[in-house]
Amino acid sequence: MRTRMVCVYPDSLTCIQRLYFSQSSETISHGGKRALQLTSTKDITRQYRHIFLSPHLDDVVYACGGTLGMQVSSGLTPLVISVFTGKPAANQKLSPLAVDVLRDWSASDTQGAIRVMEERKQEDKAALDYLQADYLWLDYQEAIYRGQPGYYADKAQLMGGEVHTTDRSLDSELGQLLVDLHDQLPDTAWYAPLGIGRHVDHQILFSAVDRLVQRGAKVYFYEDFPYVQRDKGALDARLQELGGEFEYTLVETSEMLPLKLAAADLYASQIQSNFGGREAMHKTMDSYAHTIRPVETIRLERYWIAR
């Protein structure tokens, strides 16, 4: 990991930034614009001044849904690129880890895994249509499907383990893709996972995005949710692991919280396994947004910037 980043804690709410967009009192009109699904990175034009990189379908909405709402209400067109959305091959033998994970979605074989990914894409489409954020699905397989036999043997390796040596080529490929896009879009701001919780797919994407940091791109690392909330020490542990210096910026998303919760509801297949139920999910999201800076009426999303 090349990034040399210790965190700097501003002392007052004056650190709240708008990340190059202004707050609007308008709400998103759901009878109007629909999100556009891009089919290739070649479809990405300079109109996309804010690009959110999501390891999996749902990660960006969970972590940045309020920010997306703020941008759309201000007349901007954010783009969400979900990276690991590829299906297993029809004849692929699933690893024991994949079978274990798929039980959460009532699937047990390759055809079930393909069905689950299609369902999750439809959920993502519905959520991003609701938020009016354009989107692109890349075709990389997520970690539980990579390797024959699987690169990751159990959940402990998937969440908190080291990236498999064979996946380093994936890191390089993604990094080059992002560098090429940055060359075409030098003024675009990028939003990417900090890697809290150390899910290997989040680690790979963080490492790939580091190439943008090294080139001076505007990169904002978001707090991986719900992992940041599950372990109170996970954020500090991740910052310590990375070393160096970060500072943070805050986006007030109080008026967009209902919108974010409604979009999160549309990932129906993920609610039980990630939160235990819809009410618990709403409570968890609201509580975390409040505890970032505990002022009664304020809800925030926080982004980390390499110094």
The 10 Å Cβ neighbour count of residue 42 is 8
d(Cα 167, Cα 154) in Å, to the nearest integer?
16
In this structure, are strands 246-252 and 300-306 parallel, antiparallel, or unpaired? antiparallel
The whole-number pLDDT of residue 24 equals 40
The predicted structure's pLDDT at residue 32: 57
Residue 139's pLDDT is: 97
Q: Name the DSSP letter for residue 87.
A: P
Do 212 and 224 meet the contact criterion of CB atoms below 8 Å apart?
no
d(CA 293, CA 282): 18
DSSP 206-271: HHHHHHHHHTT-EEEEEPPTTHHHHSTTHHHHHHHHH-S-EEEEEEE-GGGHHHHHHHHHT-HHHH
Beta strands in the chain (DSSP E): 7-8, 37-38, 50-54, 79-82, 134-137, 189-193, 218-222, 246-252, 300-306
Does the pTM surpass 0.95? The reply is no
The rounded distance, in Å, linking the Cα atoms of 301 and 227 is 15
Q: What is the CA radius of gyration of the chain?
A: 18
At residue 2, the pLDDT reads 39
The CB density around residue 247, as the number of other CB atoms within 10 Å, is 16
pLDDT of residue 22: 44
**Rounded to whole angstroms, how far apart are CA atoms 290 and 58?**
21
Query: Are residues 123 and 68 in contact, defined by beta-carbon separation less than 8 angstroms?
Result: no
The reported pLDDT for the residue numbered 33 is 74
Distance of CA 134 to the CA centre of its chain: 15
Per-residue pLDDT of the chain (307 residues), as tens digits, is 333 333 333 333 334 444 545 444 344 544 457 899 999 999 999 999 999 999 999 999 999 999 999 999 999 999 999 999 999 999 999 999 999 999 988 898 999 999 999 999 999 999 999 999 999 999 999 999 999 999 999 999 999 999 999 999 999 999 999 999 999 999 999 999 999 999 999 999 999 999 999 999 999 999 999 999 999 999 999 999 999 789 999 999 999 999 999 999 999 999 999 999 999 999 999 999 999 999 989 999 999 999 8
Tokens standing for residue 10: 């501003």
Hey, is 29 helix, strand or coil?
coil
